[in-house]
């Protein structure tokens, strides 16, 4: 593949990755808040079911990556632990979307590097350079400022969003620790293949117990809005697509490039959500989110230089 064609291929992957991630986020908000499907655990279960089925098709039939087998009970236990933490992060994020605007949700989610550094220190006692920790100050300060200037601030939604962000960071730290040995290391596509069914098995009883009228209410919504099942299907397929494209973008670029692109994706999602949902924003909120994004960029640059 020529350099020009390779650049075009990577650009196309990035655009598709952006579209999938932002599309899932906006459709989640639409289904949970605007369409009346107020069942975040059920929605997450639909996502995980799609990931389980499509991961199997992609790996076993399409052979996008070689199938890696689980080699021990210990490895299975580690994968199950990761799956449950991952479920917590996704469910928490979906619950927060019922109460918070997408723009503020993304501002809070941008603090992931802070929680990643915190858990890395607590779990592994790994210390970063002081300049790296200093870069995290504006990450947190920006969210504090944005919270004070958020017209639609909701305490429970904020707590769920912070919890989801912390769980997402904890999952990344656990993944690095639990699957770091050569004999047990899985690529992200195979990891998703094994995590997804475990997530479904955990989410199904949780949805039935914590969302007791989920089936009846979902069928009723389906009768009132004939396109809701199609939207749910598209939403679930896009959730898998976001994971697949995340893997492909990382494979063809680098983890650092992915982090930079992720920061830009968050800003794009904020702008689109404001235009689409017309949620009110203030200059203080925008300023706080900007400070957070600049802090995340500074954090990534500090880590790169220290290495």
Give the span between the Cα atoms of 208 and 41, in whole angstroms. 9
Give one word for 268, left, alpha or beta, with left for phi > 0 and alpha for psi -120 to 50: alpha
Secondary structure of 205-260 as H, E, C letters: HHHHHHCCCHHHHHHHHHHHCCCHHHHHHHHHHHHHHHHHHHHHHHHHCCHHHHHH
Distances (CA, A) of 120 to 91, 178, 305: 23, 13, 19
Residue 1 has pLDDT above 70, yes or no: no
Helices vs. strands in the chain: H and E counts, helices first: 12, 0
What mean pLDDT comes out for the span 224-235? 89
Q: Which of 51-65, 103-117, 147-161 has the highest mean pLDDT?
A: 51-65
pLDDT reported for residue 307: 61
Residues 6+ apart with CB under 8 A from 231: 27, 30, 31, 35
Residue 256 has pLDDT above 60, yes or no: no
CB 74 within 8 A of CB 246: no
The per-residue pLDDT of the chain, averaged, comes to 86
Considering the entire predicted model, what is its pTM? 0.85
Task: Give CA 126 to chain center in angstroms.
Answer: 24
pLDDT reported for residue 303: 73
Residue 260 has pLDDT above 70, yes or no: no
Give the span between the Cα atoms of 120 and 131, in whole angstroms. 16
Closest CA to 68 of 186, 177, 226, 207: 186
Q: pLDDT of 272-306, one tens digit each?
A: 888 887 888 888 888 888 888 888 888 877 777 76
Q: pLDDT of 218-229, one tens digit each?
A: 888 888 887 889
Reported as a pLDDT band with limits 50, 70 and 90, residue 263 is low
Q: pLDDT of 149-179, one tens digit each?
A: 788 899 999 999 999 999 988 988 888 777 7
Residue 205 has pLDDT above 90, yes or no: yes
What mean pLDDT comes out for the span 40-64? 95
Residue 108 has pLDDT above 60, yes or no: yes
Residue 255 has pLDDT above 60, yes or no: no
pLDDT reported for residue 20: 92
Give the span between the Cα atoms of 27 and 137, in whole angstroms. 32
């Amino acid at each position: 593949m020529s350099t020009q064609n390779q650049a075009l291929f990577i650009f196309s992957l990035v655009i598709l990755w952006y579209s999938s991630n932002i599309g899932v986020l906006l459709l989640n908000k639409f289904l949970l808040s605007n369409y009346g499907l107020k069942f975040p655990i059920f929605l997450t279960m639909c996502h995980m079911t799609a990931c389980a089925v499509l991961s199997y098709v992609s790996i076993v039939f399409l052979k996008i990556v070689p199938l890696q087998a689980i080699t021990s009970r210990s490895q299975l236990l580690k994968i199950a632990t990761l799956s449950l933490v991952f479920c917590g992060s996704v469910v928490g994020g979906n619950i927060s979307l019922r109460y918070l605007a997408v723009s503020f949700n993304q501002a809070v989610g941008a603090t992931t590097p802070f929680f990643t550094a915190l858990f890395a220190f607590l779990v592994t006692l790994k210390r970063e350079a002081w300049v790296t920790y200093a870069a995290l100050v504006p990450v947190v300060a920006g969210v504090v400022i944005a919270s004070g200037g958020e017209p639609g601030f909701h305490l429970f939604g904020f707590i769920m969003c912070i919890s989801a962000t912390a769980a997402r960071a904890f999952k990344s730290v656990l993944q690095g620790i639990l699957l770091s040995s050569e004999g047990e290391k899985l690529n992200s596509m195979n990891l998703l293949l094994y995590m997804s069914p475990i997530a479904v098995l955990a989410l199904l009883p949780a949805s039935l117990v914590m969302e007791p009228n989920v089936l009846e209410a979902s069928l009723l919504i389906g009768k009132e809005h004939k396109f809701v099942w199609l939207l749910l299907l598209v939403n679930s397929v896009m959730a898998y697509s976001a994971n697949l494209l995340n893997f492909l973008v990382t494979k063809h670029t680098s983890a650092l490039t992915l982090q930079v692109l992720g920061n830009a994706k968050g800003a794009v999602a904020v702008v689109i959500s404001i235009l689409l949902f017309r949620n009110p924003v203030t200059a203080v909120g925008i300023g706080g989110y900007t400070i957070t994004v600049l802090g995340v960029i500074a954090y990534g640059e500090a880590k790169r230089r220290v290495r």
